[in-house]
Amino acid sequence: MTLLAVERIKLFTTRSPWWCALITLAVVIGFAAIIAGNAPAGELTDVSLTQFGYKSGMAVIMVLAALSVTTEYRFGTIRTTFQAVPNRTSALLAKTGVVAILSLVIGEIAAFGAWGLAAVMRSEDLALNTTGEWISVAGVGVVFALASVIAVAVGILIRHSAGAISLLLIYNLAVENLVQLIPKLGQDIHKWMPFNVADKFVRGSGTGQMDGPPLSDSVLSQGGALAYFAGFALVLLIISLVVANKRDA
C-alpha cells in the first residue's frame, strides 16, 4: 500500500496526467456530441457508435502512461526510487497499477459521459439493454487500463519519452492498418493485431444502421478478445520487468 501511495503522489504532482485526462474526456465526449448532432434521424441505433472517439482517447491515455515512467528516467528520479525500493519489480508494478486504475476511471467517465450525452441529444432508444451494449460502454475503461499497461511496458523498455510515445502512437494509429497491405498474408495477420482485437471487445459485431468506422475483423468472441488483449499486455509487461531488472537504472 505504501508503494501505491508513493506512486499516486508522484503521478498527481505533475501536470501531464491532469491535462491528458481532460483531453481524453474532451475527445471521447466531443466525438459523441458530433455524431449525435449530425446523424440522420432514426439511424443512431447502435450504442457502440456513441464511443466513436474512444481510440483517439486511448491514444492520449497511452501518452499519459508512457510519460509516467519515461519522465522518471529522463530526470533520473528512477534511481532514487530503486534505491528506496531495491525490488524493482515491486516498484514498477505499483506504478503500473496506479496508472492502470487511473486509466480505468478516466475511461469509464469518458465512455458513460459520451453515451449519456448522445442519449440526451437523440430520440432513438440508446438504453443499455444487452450485455453487448454494456460492454460497448463499460468496456472502454477496461481497454484503456490494459492499453496503459502496454504503454508503461514500452516506456520501461525504451526509457525515452519521445521514442516511446512515437512508437505507441505510430503503431496504434497506423501500423496495424498498414499491415493489411501485405500481399496474401496481410488480412490474416491483421485479425490478430492487439488493438484490432481490443476493438472487437468494445464494439463487437455491430448492429446499427448508421455507417461508422470499420468493425474489427478479429475472429475471436468479445470475451476471447478481452483475454487476448490482456494476455498481450501481461506478456509485454513481464518482458519489460525482466529487462528493467537486468540493466542499469
User: Above 80 in pLDDT, residue 214?
Assistant: no
Rounded Cα–Cα distance for residues 219 and 137 (Å):
21
- Please name the residues in contact with 180: beta carbons below 8 A apart, sequence gap of 6 or more: 186, 187, 190
Looking at the structure of the chain, the number of domains it has is 1
pLDDT in tens, 30-71: 999 998 888 777 777 788 888 989 999 999 999 999 999 999
Report the pLDDT value the prediction gives residue 216, as an integer from 0 to 100.
82
By residue range, what is the domain housing residue 156? 2-246
Report the pLDDT value the prediction gives residue 28, as an integer from 0 to 100.
95
Q: What is the overall mean pLDDT for the chain?
A: 89
**Angle between the N-to-C axes of helices 54-75 and 77-84, in degrees from 0 to 180, rounded to the nearest 10:** 80
- The pTM of the full predicted model, rounded to 2 decimals, is 0.92
The answer to whether the CB of 194 falls within 8 A of the CB of 228 is: yes
